[in-house]
Amino acid sequence: MRGPGFGLLAAFLLTGCALLEMPGEAGVGDSGQVRLWEEHRRSVADLDDWGLQGHFGLQWDDGQIQGRLQWRQTGADFELRLSGPFGLNPVHVNGNLQTGQATLYDGEQSIQGEIEEVMRERLGFALPLAELVNLVRGIPISDASEVMLDGQARALRILQRGWEINYRDYSCCEEPTLPGRVRFAQEAMRGVLVVREWSRN
């Protein structure tokens, strides 16, 4: 059963888009769009100090959850603050994507270990941050992907490693623009993220 948060991104306008298959030929995307997309992708990938605040909903085999999210990324170091139906205390997680280690704080208790295992033990799902760190910003995990572009040569949909990610509402601040709404799905999990604010240093 899906929670109400999943209705936020139920419909996407996919007309007027270009399909890119990378690496290799650029499909039906013209060379101008390919060039603009590559410039946009590099600019977003170069953002190594950023943050977001918003709302999320997640659904997996054993349940579903919704709440508020604050995410700060500085290089490989991350800090997440999750609040919602997790109990009386907000959950605070920090760690490093290169080492794959994290510490989760829940009130006076703490859990240390691998990122996905720490998240699974406390929250009931394994959040794949190493992949989502790119996907939430509208760029692929690596070059081997299929990307559908919007009219401004930004990702409208990414298919990669079993993920399907759909984007809309690129209204954030100066270039490079970042998505305001993200819907993602893979075999074990699906979810929606609505970003209220992006920050960049």
Is 69 found in the same domain as 24? no
Judge whether 76 and 98 are in contact, CB under 8 Å: yes
pLDDT in tens, 130-140: 999 999 999 99
pLDDT in tens, 77-105: 999 999 886 655 788 999 999 999 999 99
- The amino acid that residue 147 corresponds to is V
Is residue 151 included in any domain, yes or no? yes
H-run or E-run covering 187: none
Bridge partners of residue 122, in order along the sequence: none
Which residue range forms the structural domain that includes residue 93?
49-54+63-124
Is 177 found in the same domain as 146? yes
Cα–Cα dist 4/184, whole Å: 16
Mean pLDDT per segment of 10 residues, for the chain of length 201 residues?
34 35 44 90 94 92 86 97 75 95 89 92 84 94 87 94 93 86 90 93 76
Is residue 178 included in any domain, yes or no? yes
Number of domains the chain contains: 2
Is residue 10 included in any domain, yes or no? no
Among the three residues 124, 157, 176, which one is the final residue of a domain in this structure?
124
Is residue 2 included in any domain, yes or no? no
Q: 141 vs 21, 138, 159, CA distance in Å?
A: 14, 10, 10
H-run or E-run covering 160: strand 155-160
